[in-house]
Structure 1
Amino acid sequence: MKERQFFWDWGYLCVIFFSLIQNGASQRDILQLIMLPVNWCREYVIWFEQLDYMGYPSGEVTFERIVSMVAIMAGIVGCVILVWGGIEQYRKIWDDIYKMVLISSISFSAVLGNMVREYLSLNLIFLIFLINMGAIFLRMYLSKKKNKFIL
């Protein structure tokens, strides 16, 4: 019985994944998610290579480049730590309800993605993230309310 449910769960996830890939709005959003950092990095490299910057001495410009590089690296490390911590917290509360919310939010985005993009200029990946975070905060709020009434 478990093997059959495992098979159907993965089959359902594959259907959702392929319909999400087929959706034009999702394709644009995934491409935008990839190309935005790539374009930013290209602009940064061009800026980084310009040492004759608005008449400033080259020592100040070099210092500015080094500080910006250190700040960007610190930001990347900070983001990785935050994402890792978020994933660890999500694993602690992971259950069947969160699985259903995740699957339904991805299904919603796959089926109604083009219609949502017509009315809202919102990235669908961000929409999936918002729906899942809303479910987490709603469950936290309801569990606090439940504990408040029990005590």
Structure 2
Amino acid sequence: MFRKIHSNRDPRDTLYRELRKEFSVYAEKGNNFGKQFAAKYPRLLFGLMTALLLASAVLAVWLHPKMVPPEKVKVKPRSEVLNSSFDQILAAGAALKTTIHLRRQVDSITAKRVLTKADSLTLVQDLDSLQHIRLTLPH
């Protein structure tokens, strides 16, 4: 089952070499045709290359508008940055205070053995409020 397989293949015969042997006739014909065409119509080839370069440049700009540099972003004055940062700190503090209050209320409701209809409604509202606070705070 695990016998060594012996090959009588010449180690110089590679896939590239075999493909070259098989298709070299067609490659030579194509190469000769290309040389004759380039010698016969050099201006046409130059014009075609120029047109393709221009089309490539136009498509690059048209299809990729991010390549055009954006306008400079206006820098906010330092006082506005400080005020907005301070407002964010105050908002986070208020959210934390509300979260602590809601958590205590949820814990007290869930500690009960039997919940009334009012307890269930309060619990749902508190959990929704906690979820809303969690989603509105930046991470």
TM-score by structure 2 length? 0.32
RCO greater where, 1 or 2, for CA within 8 Å and sep 6 or more? 1
Q: Highest Rg: 1 or 2?
A: 2
More helix by percentage: 1
